[in-house]
Amino acid sequence: MRVLPKTDADYPPLLLVRTDYRDDDGWQRVLAALDQPWVFDEGDEDNGRLKEDIVQVDDPAWADATPSDVLAALTAPGEEGGEASDECGWPVVFLADHASMEGAEPTLLAVSPDPEEETEPYRIPALETPHEMHCNLAIANMDFDEFGG
């Protein structure tokens, strides 16, 4: 059964869903890229380095899931029942799909969980960009389409 966590945190962690299980080495390259902090201000007290906490969904039940599958799970009623909701609490969801693990530099598919977002999911570099994107979307500093959609 495909289940994704919801959150009500003011500043939730980064949500990463693995949807391809053909390349474990590729998955490790994605994780290694995400382990690198985003350098946003070298003059800052911590040298401007930020690495978001990550919730990894690494469950083969999500093999070959599409962005639509992920969005449907995020808005499905919870275990206690109730109505489906457009609000899942995540500012962005990243998918590690087959294309993410191809090539020398890993990428992620960025998906907006906002039902009013008109920008289609798009590919971003897995190195630094997910941290920057997640941070700016979580604090409503930028919009989803400003990152390349």
Q: pLDDT tens across 46-69, in order?
A: 555 567 789 999 999 999 999 999
- Tell me whether residue 66 is exposed, middle or buried, using C-beta atoms within 10 angstroms of its C-beta: 0 to 12, 13 to 18, 19 or more: middle
Where does the pLDDT of residue 1 fall: very low under 50, low under 70, confident under 90, or very high at 90 and above?
confident
Q: Percentage of residues in the chain with pLDDT exceeding 90?
A: 41
- Tell me whether residue 133 is exposed, middle or buried, using C-beta atoms within 10 angstroms of its C-beta: 0 to 12, 13 to 18, 19 or more: buried
CA separation, residue 96 to residues 74, 83, 106 (Å): 17, 29, 9
Report which of residues 103 and 107 the model is more confident about. 107
* Mean pLDDT computed over 90-102: 94
Q: pLDDT tens across 20-54, in order?
A: 999 999 999 999 999 887 766 656 565 555 677 89
| Backbone conformation region of residue 140, classed left if phi is above 0, alpha if psi is from -120 to 50, else beta | left
Q: Tell me, what's the pLDDT at 2?
A: 84
Report the chain's C-alpha Rg in angstroms.
Answer: 15
Nearest alpha-carbon partner for 131 in 108, 149, 112, 113: 108
